Structure 1
Amino acid sequence: MHPSNKVIQGFWIGPKLSLMEQLSIRSFLAQGHEYHLYAYDAIEGIPKGTTIQDANEILPSDRIFTYQHGEEKGSYSGFADLFRSHLLAKKGGWWADLDVICLKPFDFAEEYVIASSYEGKWGNPAINCVMKMPPNSVLANYLCEESDARDPNSLRFAETGPLLLQDALRKLQLENAIVDHEIFCPISWRTVQKRIAYAQPSAWPLRAGIRVKEFARSILKPHVTRDRVRPNSYAVHLWSEMWRRNQLDKNGVFHDNCLYEKLKQQYL
């Protein structure tokens, strides 16, 4: 593995990690990566082998904020967007959200790698759940400058996350860094309860009739994803925000055949 790919970096605010966050870290460790977890306080449930880093080295704790508006009011995700931008500006390398599960080593030769989400006829817009870039890069510096200039009290969901990232990639002509959604986000956020975590066994099996329908859809509606982990997938994004919105328990037990349980069996 190239040295620039060895370390995966993440961030957490809260007293403990759920099974999902533990699963994420363990998956990277199992695939041969080092994992550096940035935190401001002690956290329960950190997997053995994790390197704990002081988040104050990136941003002082007095800059922590939560969203003040909308359905995400009270969420730290806006601050997490800001934190990752400053982390990548200072350290460079890989960032991965703690709802991303590694399937094989992130050994990419490219300096810039940006995840994308499948959005049908709108294509594969960039998202910031998985990113790689050099330290002090023009991209990270742009994200920091734009984020720092905005009032945290008026931010809306994703404003300084995917939306700012997409704008930055266009302006800096770095859109070629965006990889296909199948690489890191092969399953859509729309189908979390159908593909990733469900209680009913009928949701997962691909019977012959479903396979025929999938084949026909690939011809008649080529912009519709097959919504499965593919051979070229390096990770799977579990979309924890959708778990929160749908009141799914990250520590819960689901049907044995669902992806979440299979990943838990593999890594936990």
Structure 2
Amino acid sequence: MNYHDGSLARANEISTEPSSLTRDEYYQICLRHLKTGELAQAEARCREGLAADATHAGLLHLMAGVSLLNGNYDAAIQWAGRALTNEMKATYLATFGTALQGKGLQEEALEAFQRAVDLDPVDPSIWDNYGHALSRAGHGNQANLCFVIARAYQKMPFLSDCRSAPRDGWNALTAQFNPHLRSAAQEAKARDPIHCFWSDALPSAMSHLALRSMIRQGHPVTLYTYDDVATMQALVPAGVVVTDAESVVPRSTYHQAMIHSEIRYFSDIFRYAVLHEFGGWWLDTDIVLVKPLDFASEHVFSTQWSGVENGHVCVGGAMRAPKGSPHMANLHALALQRFSLDRRVEYGAVGPLLLSEYLLLSNDEELQSCVLPPTAFNAIDWHEVDLFATESRAGFDLLSDPRVAGVHLWEKIWAERGLRLDAVSEHSVAGHLKKLVLEPS
């Protein structure tokens, strides 16, 4: 609809007789005020128009826009919310965030994007745009996190679909994710070596169980330690070979990591180095194998169900690589840089977060085809460890998928919750795993 200057001027002056204008005329006037930055006049005319037509979508959107420009995000959501779902509100806020940034309003734009992801935390496009906004504002690390989240939801739709699906249906959501990756072990085939790490403590009952399960499935197992090798050798299950970890990573790096962070942080650095040096599998010492590992890919990476918001999507608890792998060399170099130069010593910085960035932000489709769904090793997630200790069918059902190759027990979470492997019922999931590994029949 076109209006000549006279009608616009007349409309702009009207305050006592709002009914003399149509709602669309109000919309055009308000839009003009908004474009010229006259927020007070835009708001006044919007309110006059809405007094006569409270459901006019254009006026509602303009009121939301005025509220956003005034920094009143709650009001913006309320105005827009009269006609929009949460997902539509999020898209609206994200679009406005992009517009705000285009006008140089960095902080306001970032606030709009944060509100958008709060409303719709699984929309890849919103996370991607948020990442670009953070990058332009000079927040590189936060931007990378947003990009990881965006790629996770884009490339692994089961991570968003599981939010609205019943828990017992989550494994089914991963059926079409890299379906070529299946463990189909041949009895006569030589098994890959498995590398593990344990230091600064006596082996636990859970690590003993995990190591025995690896041996039982026919894999050669090497346990690396900075403790006395002979003493450790006497404490581990028969068949496990204990080796000095300093032959792979200098002891000085281990000590520095322990001073500034924790053992899990160092083990993330160590696993890249040992796989590059020798090839084969890395397994955490709280993963119980239920079948031999024979996947149709020379590189194999794992994922987990939760942790996307922290960028902890791809995890290194179970990982395969050939000797001399350039990817392991790259990851080891990046981990040392992040530790030594960037001083990023929080848990996950050189582990799940780095691995997720490396795999998900890459354009290497072949590399991304080596990623397993959580079903393979992390069918029961870290926040669900109680399922291991109960006799509920829920835990058994989650592990009944034929793609399950190993069971991550999440030992640290057991300790935090006061759970003990030696105290579980023989009819619990953990009790059955113990029988599977320890009883010859």
The reply to whether TM is greater than 0.5 is yes
Percent of matched pairs sharing the same residue: 28
Residue 255 of structure 1 corresponds to 425
CA 1:150 to 1:95, structure 2 compared with 1: closer, same or farther past 3 Å? Answer: same
Q: Retained in 1: the 8 A contact 2:313–2:353?
A: no
Range with bigger deviation, 254-263 or 128-137: 254-263
> Displacement, 1:66?
2.4
Which of structure 1's runs of 4+ aligned residues deviate more than 4 A? none
> Which structure has more helix as a fraction of its residues?
2
CA distance in 2, matches of 1:238, 1:37: 19
Alignment of 1:98 with 2:277, yes or no, is: no
Residue 59 of structure 1 corresponds to 249
CA distance in 1, matches of 2:308, 2:418: 29
**RCO higher in structure (CA 8 A, sep ≥6):** 1
- Structure 1 or 2, whichever has the larger Rg, is 2
Whichever residue aligns with residue 181 of structure 1, its letter is P
> Displacement, 1:265?
2.0
- CA RMSD after TM alignment: 2.4
Q: Retained in 1: the 8 A contact 2:377–2:404?
A: yes
Query: For residues 168-187 of structure 1, what are the alpha-carbon distances to aligned partners after superposition, in whole Å with 9 as ceiling and x for unaligned?
Result: 11326221111121111111
Whichever residue aligns with residue 92 of structure 1, its letter is G
Whichever residue aligns with residue 433 of structure 2, its letter is L
Q: Retained in 1: the 8 A contact 2:304–2:315?
A: yes
CA distance in 2, matches of 1:121, 1:18: 30
Alignment of 1:231 with 2:231, yes or no, is: no
Matches within 5 A, 1:151-230: 151=339, 154-170=344-360, 171=362, 173=364, 174-193=367-386, 195-198=387-390, 201=391, 204-205=392-393, 227-230=398-401
Q: Retained in 2: the 8 A contact 1:36–1:51?
A: yes
Residue 221 of structure 1 corresponds to none
CA distance in 2, matches of 1:35, 1:247: 29
CA distance in 1, matches of 2:377, 2:339: 31
> Displacement, 1:89?
1.4
Residue 51 of structure 2 corresponds to none
Q: Retained in 2: the 8 A contact 1:229–1:236?
A: no
TM value normalised by structure 1: 0.80
CA distance in 1, matches of 2:344, 2:296: 39
Alignment of 1:16 with 2:202, yes or no, is: yes
Residue 81 of structure 2 corresponds to none
2:434 corresponds, among 237, 242, 264, to: 264
Residue 328 of structure 2 corresponds to 140
Whichever residue aligns with residue 256 of structure 1, its letter is E
TM value normalised by structure 2: 0.50
CA distance in 2, matches of 1:228, 1:234: 9
Query: For residues 211-244 of structure 1, what are the alpha-carbon distances to aligned partners after superposition, in whole Å with 9 as ceiling and x for unaligned?
Result: xxxxxxxxxxxxxxx6334222111111122123
> Displacement, 1:105?
0.3
CA distance in 2, matches of 1:172, 1:83: 26
> Displacement, 1:151?
3.1
Query: For residues 144-195 of structure 1, what are the alpha-carbon distances to aligned partners after superposition, in whole Å with 9 as ceiling and x for unaligned?
Result: 11111123664111110011011111326221111121111111112101x1
Whichever residue aligns with residue 129 of structure 1, its letter is G
CA 1:89 to 1:172, structure 2 compared with 1: closer, same or farther past 3 Å? Answer: farther
1:108 corresponds, among 295, 300, 304, to: 295
Q: Retained in 2: the 8 A contact 1:67–1:76?
A: no
> Displacement, 1:133?
0.9
CA distance in 2, matches of 1:120, 1:59: 29
Matched pairs, number: 237
> Displacement, 1:121?
9.0
Which blocks of at least 5 consecutive residues in structure 1 are unaligned?
207-225
CA 1:158 to 1:67, structure 2 compared with 1: closer, same or farther past 3 Å? Answer: farther
